[in-house]
Structure 1
Amino acid sequence: MRVAIRGIYTTALTRLFSEAGHEVVQATGPIEKRFEGEFADGPADLACETGRDRQGVSLSGTDEAVRVGRELLAVGRDTFVWNDPTPLGSVFEGRVEGTRGGGAVVSLEGGEGYLPFDETEEYVEEGDSLRVQVTEPTPPWSDDDPRVSTTIRARTPGGLAALEEDGSGIDAPDAETARLVDLLSVELPEGWGVSLGRRAREASLADLEAGLSRAADLAAAFEGRDTAEPYATAWCWFGRESRFSLDELRREVTTTMAGHHRIKAGSNRASDAVDFAEALCEPEEFPFDAVASQFGPQAGDTLAIEHGKPDGRVITLGRGEVIEYDPEGSITLRREMTAGGSYDALGTPRESGDVAITTLKEGRWWYPTTYRDTDGERKGTYINVCTPVELFPKSARYVDLHVDVIKHPDGRVERVDDDELDEAVDSGLVSDELAEKAREVAAAIERALA
């Protein structure tokens, strides 16, 4: 299998795929230098790309390639992978549901898409039926809709070559690369324009021919069809343990500080700082205080609690003020609660003036939240069991593992939601290994509080 890899996890994943016997193609200059070898520029069977928020990667390609990629990326017990119902390159017969910002919301089979007005030459209004193609899938933990376009392209994974429906001519990085198309023996379909990516400039004639030949086959499959799904897409979210496993893979190739991928996932500024630090030294332990002091969170900052679910969704539990900061890796967050209903599982009423005090520690498999009323009286404590917490500059991130432990106002301790964890295991959302860890953590907390 041939795979093209992009983003902050590239070195580690190049090592991972190469060791598994797969060929990495379309590699960048830094990757060629680190691995001390040349990489082909031919078409890929699988494209592996870091998501916009750097929390994980997308896998797009043939069904078999995505299946293999999913298995390889299970680098830790807190790795989660989900199939995308609107994969890259898929074509839908959509209906315009309305407009939003500079585009239109289009209903698709399996979800909704967002069509920027500059991605269509047609006048678009509510109720219109449009044939659209997914150009940018979005992960299940994002609130954004996948981007779509009314321009249909037959594109190889990794973007080496593409054909554009109702297009003409050759769009290439430069005139010399465009002239190479005339030297190829591939038969291109009528009514389709040629588009070559930046990597085509360095590609051999054989690689260009292979890429355009695949694109031509794909274009033929699109002909006369309102819908098509040439590729599969899956999303992989890396938890903290998984990021550190990827650090180990990268360390086999080049200097890699502790927490390399954990820090880079925090922000673009932090990512640049990691590159600078590694050029000077190699810290042996994750430098939480140095990272948080430079990029946050710090006392006085506002931090969101982003509560991931095993099915890929993310629920923001609220935002609070960081009232305590411990350079050893923990913070305490204060949130003011609104009135209405009761606190989950505790059953105590949620009233105006209540506050929630949450302590979050980097790398820990649980965190407690204590609720108090306006007089400071305890209304109960909820201990959430989750994948290891990561304290990013603007949010705390983890995936909830369902089972939790609560301490009632009268001191009674109760373990809850084991049935939800069992259901998640039965449905394949949580692995047996991860579920066993969650139960062990819950049991230890229950014993400590009893």
Structure 2
Amino acid sequence: MAKVRVRGIYATALTKIMLEDGYEIVQATDTILSRFNILHSTEPPDVTIKDDEDIPGGLFIIGRCSDVDRVVSSIVSRIGDVAMVKPPVPLYSIIMGVVKDEGKIEVAPGVEAMLEGSNYFRPGDKLPVTMVNVTGQLRASPYIMPATGYLRIIDSPTVKLSRHIKDPDAKMMLVRVGLSRINQLGGLGVRWRSSAQYLSEDDAAKALDEAIELLNSIRVKISEARDYDVLFEGECITSIIPDAAARGALDDVRNSIVPTVKGHHALKVTMRNTEILDYTEYLLGVLGMRDELSRALSNYAIGNLTMVNVHHVKTNGEHVNLGPGEKVNYSNGVLVIRRDLKPGGVLDGLNVAKEYGDVAYSVIEVGSRHLTHIYTSSDGSFKGAYINVNTPIEVTWDGVIYLDLEVDVVVDRDFNVKVIDEDKLASIPSRRLISEAEAELNSLKGNAVGMVKGYIDMLSRLGLSIHY
């Protein structure tokens, strides 16, 4: 079975899932070794699972393609149907591409990447490229740079080290081995990956020799390669974007190993110092009372804020912070924040001009499948409302987070209701989330006016003097 390295905020829950499905855990932290009573292995992973640096609360899974697919299936079998993002080609894959106009190269039918050093090539040229970036803007390099479990070939004749290699002796040894073979790389260099820090000098030399042999074998294939042929598979990537239900499932898995409050993983999306979370979970282990302690910690997190971030995460991985907004009130799980709007342009979905003094009051109910923005003018007149359909709203340490489900409802100043972007529902990469969005939309169609008026009355009772 594949070897898996697990890092990040979901490490305990995911390690349990991986072990139950028969994977070998490698390069585990001391905490994981202790919790699961497993032996330390320094073997390089076939798959790494870690936090996604671009998607708040997201999981980034990278490794050998067939193993990545199996690991993803294992995770999804436990957390349910979730949104996922997969690049069209693997990272570090080496592909025979076709140069296009405007500095681009086609690496698969209909898939174009920015070509580094494109000034040296003409449209129609065929050349092998290495995919050096596949998340966001695709980028391809004309250098042949395969990657192995211990190292990557790089496009400059030097030796570099992963920032995760800390041991001075390991650093010196890896640089020494790299420099001893730099002339065999034909103007290229080597970057040692974190797994290399565990190698002996002889094994490091063997690993580099095998990479040089791989490089030469790829070069031999080039003369017979056809358009879009994959000369080296590279590493597949899948980003999983958990919602409240998925994170709740991971909370429960973790709770089967160590005491874990509900909302643990959502809080940790933005939490840097975990002392209060650790202490609360110590109390949970002593007292039980999981529901009560979970609710108290979430209330404390929001109650301690003066400015609130609203992490609006789309199912394609895009992230927008609709804040920070000033906390106006928080009571019984209902949070109100205020944002002063800049004049210019129009209010989304309402086609009403944004003017000087306009304010957006966001009414956020923890656990709700919608979030409502009430827009007012400088004199408190109601200008309209925008109701965002989303997954249940979760509490983070600096605010709230949810997944946007594309479709929205707007209520204009005369309380006419309109559904917008309903056609975008089909783009959501999860049947479960589509069904949940449709159910919430059907509920809102008949209740939107009454709900918005109720929110306006609530804001007025808070002394905000909003009128319609």
Q: Could you tell me the TM-score, scaled by structure 1's length?
A: 0.72
Report the Cα distance in structure 2 between the residues aligned to 1:338 and 1:163, rounded to whole angstroms: 49
2:83 counterpart SS class = strand
Report the Cα distance in structure 1 between the residues aligned to 2:46 and 2:260, rounded to whole angstroms: 29
1:281 counterpart SS class = helix
1:33-432 matches, within 5 Å, as: 33-38=34-39, 40-52=41-53, 55-74=57-76, 75-76=78-79, 79-84=82-87, 88-90=91-93, 154-157=146-149, 160=150, 166=157, 173=167, 190-191=184-185, 215=211, 218-220=214-216, 223=219, 230-269=234-273, 271-282=274-285, 284-285=290-291, 287=294, 289-291=296-298, 293=300, 298=304, 300-301=306-307, 303-326=308-331, 328-421=332-425, 423-424=426-427, 429-432=428-431
Which deviates more from structure 2 when the two are superposed, residues 213-222 or residues 281-290? 213-222
Which deviates more from structure 2 when the two are superposed, residues 315-324 or residues 369-378? 315-324
8 Å CA contact 1:92–1:108 kept in 2: the answer is: no
Q: 2:297 is matched by which residue type in structure 1? A: A
User: For residues 414 and 200 of structure 1, do their structure 2 counterparts lie closer, same or farther at Cα, with a shift above 3 Å needed?
Assistant: closer
1:16-27 matches, within 5 Å, as: 16-27=17-28
8 Å CA contact 1:383–1:405 kept in 2: the answer is: yes
Q: 1:36 is matched by which residue type in structure 2? A: N
8 Å CA contact 1:2–1:43 kept in 2: the answer is: yes
8 Å CA contact 1:78–1:241 kept in 2: the answer is: no
User: For residues 214 and 67 of structure 1, do their structure 2 counterparts lie closer, same or farther at Cα, with a shift above 3 Å needed?
Assistant: farther
Could you say which residue in structure 2 is the equivalent of 1:118?
none
Superposed CA offset, 1:109-160 (max 9, x none): 75679x9xxxxxxxx9x9799x99777x6965xxxx8999999875445xx5
Superposed CA offset, 1:222-247 (max 9, x none): 55779965112222222222111111
Superposed CA offset, 1:370-402 (max 9, x none): 111222121222211111223434454322112
Report the Cα distance in structure 1 between the residues aligned to 2:410 and 2:159, rounded to whole angstroms: 65
How many residue pairs get aligned? The number is 407
8 Å CA contact 1:368–1:384 kept in 2: the answer is: yes
Could you say which residue in structure 1 is the equivalent of 2:446?
447
Report the Cα distance in structure 1 between the residues aligned to 2:172 and 2:354, rounded to whole angstroms: 66
Q: Could you tell me the TM-score, scaled by structure 2's length?
A: 0.70
8 Å CA contact 2:268–2:396 kept in 1: the answer is: no
Report the Cα distance in structure 1 between the residues aligned to 2:371 and 2:348, rounded to whole angstroms: 15
1:343 counterpart SS class = coil
Gaps of 5+ in 2: 97-102, 107-111, 122-127, 175-180, 223-229, 450-468
8 Å CA contact 2:92–2:235 kept in 1: the answer is: yes
How far residue 62 of structure 1 moved from its aligned partner, in angstroms, is 2.0
User: For residues 234 and 355 of structure 1, do their structure 2 counterparts lie closer, same or farther at Cα, with a shift above 3 Å needed?
Assistant: same
How far residue 35 of structure 1 moved from its aligned partner, in angstroms, is 1.4
Q: 1:61 is matched by which residue type in structure 2? A: G
User: For residues 8 and 443 of structure 1, do their structure 2 counterparts lie closer, same or farther at Cα, with a shift above 3 Å needed?
Assistant: same
Report the Cα distance in structure 2 between the residues aligned to 1:3 and 1:84, rounded to whole angstroms: 21
1:268 counterpart SS class = coil
8 Å CA contact 1:298–1:325 kept in 2: the answer is: no
Instruction: Name which one, 1 or 2, has greater alpha-carbon Rg.
Output: 2
Which deviates more from structure 2 when the two are superposed, residues 353-362 or residues 397-406? 397-406
Report the Cα distance in structure 1 between the residues aligned to 2:295 and 2:105, rounded to whole angstroms: 43
Superposed CA offset, 1:334-376 (max 9, x none): 1222333433333433332221111112322111111112221
User: For residues 272 and 162 of structure 1, do their structure 2 counterparts lie closer, same or farther at Cα, with a shift above 3 Å needed?
Assistant: farther
In angstroms, what is the RMSD of aligned CA positions? 4.6
Report the Cα distance in structure 2 between the residues aligned to 1:228 and 1:170, rounded to whole angstroms: 23
Q: 1:290 is matched by which residue type in structure 2? A: L
2:290 counterpart SS class = coil
Could you say which residue in structure 1 is the equivalent of 2:225?
none
Superposed CA offset, 1:260-305 (max 9, x none): 2112112211x354334434534613635535645x574632x343
Q: 2:442 is matched by which residue type in structure 1? A: A
Q: 1:438 is matched by which residue type in structure 2? A: A
1:73 counterpart SS class = helix
Report the Cα distance in structure 2 between the residues aligned to 1:323 and 1:29, rounded to whole angstroms: 43
